[in-house]
Structure 1
Amino acid sequence: MNDVSQIIITIGSVQIPIHQSIMVWLVICLFLCIMAVICGKKIEKADPSKPPKGLVYLSEEIYNLCLYVVQGNLREKTKKYIPIFGTLMLGMLLSNLSGLTGFQNPTSNVSFNATLAIMFFLMIQFNGLKKGGLKARFKELCEPFPFLLPLNIIGELALPISLTMRLFGNILAGTIITLLVYTLITNIAPWGYLGLTLTPFIHAYFDIFSGVIQTYIFFTLGTYFLGQQVSEEAE
């Protein structure tokens, strides 16, 4: 299956190719849905008078971790947005770590990252208009001086581009560097066996450390700008 770069679904005369990275994302979504149902039932049956353990404890720790990332930016609106952002954070984290399995990371697909970044952009703009209307939003873009309106608009449009390319560049670069190292090790055999001792450290950085950091940065930046529009404490 690792050699399958895409599958093609044929509907009549129309062919729809589905890239490997998207297939991996669909598997991750299915896994999260199944785990959500299982953990939900475990939490319902758990005795609140006893310390949590097993999946209940793991669920609480994951929830607290998601709160740590977004609560400082969303403040009193955290409870409203934690379901969607918590789910997306877990999905992105698993996507970044999926490179350990040998499959292509969904986050190395620029269209995948752009979809998440545009979602943030639309949420920010929608809440900005909802907060005070079109007039107030236009006035906000003219601050501190009206002649800065074009620069402020460019700044707003730069957010989804920045989120997309930062995540795409870091994840794809890690994948390429890891591939180059494996190719080098193969070509310098028999010294390649010695080189294999370095690969765990390479994966620890590019697949684990970098994957976790990029997830944190993506949602920290996104929720920061969203918090400027939805949080009353930010005003």
Structure 2
Amino acid sequence: MNTDISQIVITIGSFKLCLQQSILVWLVVCLLVGFVAWLAGRKIEKADPSKAPKGLVYWSEELYNLCLYVIQGNLKETTAHYLPIFGTLMVCMLVSNLTGLVGFQNPTSNISFNATLALMFFLMIQTHGITKAGLKARMKELTEPMWLLTPLNIIGELALPISLTMRLFGNILAGTIISLLIYTLIKSIAPWGYLGLTLTPFIHMYFDVFSGVIQTYIFFTLGTYFLGQQVAQQED
């Protein structure tokens, strides 16, 4: 097995398997979140409803309310149906966005990872749109308000996964690069660099914590908005 800073290459005879560090981090995060969710479920079952929640039960309720806040306005009456998958993905993304604090590559800095999530939204939107009204009605939507705008409507549909992918990738990767440049600058001006290390908590507070939370919110808000156009009842 050969390793470097960005990937792990497992060699078995003539077969080589290349695993990006970001993908391994995501798998570990999913396993940890799954275990914590299972443990929280056990504790919630045993919790006394007459007492105020605390510990893991309290934080589980806060995360539940946070996920509801992000998607409920878009998915409306279908929120309960989609909450398990989007809630899980949001928590996993929030946790993974904090992995930069411990020196690991953030999964959302991998464009392939972001494209996979964006493609999931795109396929869900198109599938539900066809299921809801039929293929003929869905195709007709692309010709509204006039058939001359059909190419623009198609481009608009295809732009969604590209926009979601590049927005998340660009913002997260930019934060990583800026942090690296600042660290390089601090190292190059040693011994004053030791004084500069006092600034690093603030750097990570913005690029790893604040920016990670904001980008997760934007990604799922936009994705569920377009999904809600197909699955939720629209107000007149």
TM-score (norm 1): 0.96
SS of equivalent to 2:148: helix
Count of residues in Structure 1 that have an aligned counterpart in Structure 2: 234
| Superposed CA offset, 1:120-165 (max 9, x none) | 0000000000010011101111111111111000000000000000
The offset of 1:9, in angstroms, is 3.1
SS of equivalent to 2:10: strand
Partner of 1:151: 152
Partner of 2:28: 27
Q: How far apart in 2 are the matches of 1:169 and 1:225?
A: 21
Identity of aligned residues (%): 75
The offset of 1:194, in angstroms, is 2.1
What is the CA RMSD across the aligned residues, in angstroms?
1.4
Q: How far apart in 1 are the matches of 2:157 and 2:53?
A: 43
The offset of 1:13, in angstroms, is 2.9
Partner of 1:168: 169
Q: How far apart in 1 are the matches of 2:199 and 2:235?
A: 46
1:197 aligns with 2:198: yes
Q: Within 5 Å, which residues of 2 pair with 1:1-235? A: 4-11=5-12, 13-234=14-235
The offset of 1:224, in angstroms, is 0.1
Distance 1:64 1:48, change over 3 A: same
SS of equivalent to 1:125: helix
SS of equivalent to 1:18: strand
Gaps of 5+ in 2: none
SS of equivalent to 1:142: coil
Q: How far apart in 1 are the matches of 2:234 and 2:157?
A: 21
The offset of 1:225, in angstroms, is 0.1
Deviates more, 1:13-22 or 1:113-122: 13-22
Q: How far apart in 1 are the matches of 2:73 and 2:12?
A: 47
The offset of 1:11, in angstroms, is 4.9
Deviates more, 1:199-208 or 1:163-172: 199-208
Q: How far apart in 2 are the matches of 1:45 and 1:28?
A: 26
Q: How far apart in 2 are the matches of 1:12 and 1:107?
A: 32
Amino acid at match of 2:79: T
Q: How far apart in 2 are the matches of 1:87 and 1:195?
A: 38
The offset of 1:234, in angstroms, is 4.9
Instruction: Check conservation: 1:75, 1:233, Cα contact below 8 A.
Output: no
Distance 1:123 1:234, change over 3 A: farther
Gaps of 5+ in 1: none
Q: How far apart in 2 are the matches of 1:201 and 1:47?
A: 40
SS of equivalent to 1:116: helix
Q: How far apart in 2 are the matches of 1:210 and 1:33?
A: 24
The offset of 1:191, in angstroms, is 1.4
The offset of 1:57, in angstroms, is 1.0
Deviates more, 1:152-161 or 1:3-12: 3-12
Instruction: Check conservation: 1:98, 1:104, Cα contact below 8 A.
Output: yes
